[in-house]
Each structure stands twice: as structure tokens, then as C-alpha cells.
Structure 1
Amino acid sequence: MESFSASMDLVQFIGKLGDLKDEHYHLILVQSAIIELLIDKGFFSRQELETKITDMDQLMNGSPYPMA
């Protein structure tokens, strides 16, 4: 009986993972559409966006502890 329960837990986990992948795809799609609209309307350029992404990526990948 435990084997059946473990199998059902795995099936439920895989289902939830599939749901998360779908949700992630839709969130990225909406985010991309908003960014494209903002660029098209001249709020910022693609280069400004890429620069900001690079800056934020370096900040997030840096050490959480400042070096003195």
C-alpha cells in the first residue's frame, strides 16, 4: 500500500511541475510583451534594457557580503 501511495505522490508532483512550467511560460510571455510595448513606445531602448539586465545580474551574482 505504501508503494501505491508513493507512486501517487510522484504522479501528483509531476502534475504540479507541469502546471508550474505552464505558468512560468505564460508569465514570461506577458513580461516579454510588456517589455516590447515599452520599447516600441520609446520608454527605453533595447540597449538600456540590456545594460540594466547586466547590471542587475552582476549585483545578484556578487557576494552577499561586502569585502572590506
Structure 2
Amino acid sequence: MALRMRSRLPEWFKKTGKKQVDLARHLKVSEAFISQVCNNKEKLTVVQMKMTADFFDCYMDDLAEWIYEPD
């Protein structure tokens, strides 16, 4: 069984009204990188996940959905 992670950042942007550009500045990364994370093409590091959780005032677990896929 494989485990896949799906970003929930788009949900958090909608819920809070915050912008990708603001998170990019907070993490000191490009807005393009944040867009790729939102589209599940890139992943945040553990440190970036913690900083993102602080940005949205949530838990790290709230930022991703874990999906089990059969082999």
C-alpha cells in the first residue's frame, strides 16, 4: 500500500483570505513554488510546514491530507 500526500493549502487560502504571495514572503520562497505546492508538484520541508502552520494558525496535520493507495 502506498501513501500519498495532498496539499490542503488551497483550502486554507480560501478559509483565511490570505494570499500565496504573503505565504511565499513568510517562507522566503517564490510564489511559483507555493503554487507548485498547492498543485501537489512540490512539497514543503518539515520546517516550512511548521512555519506555514504558524502562518495559518493551525496544526501541521491540517495542511495535508494523507491518502492510502493500493499497490
Of structures 1 and 2, the one with the larger relative CO (CA 8 A, separation 6+) is 2
Please identify which structure carries the higher strand content. Answer: 2
Please identify which structure carries the higher helix content. Answer: 1
**Which of 1 and 2 has greater Rg?**
1
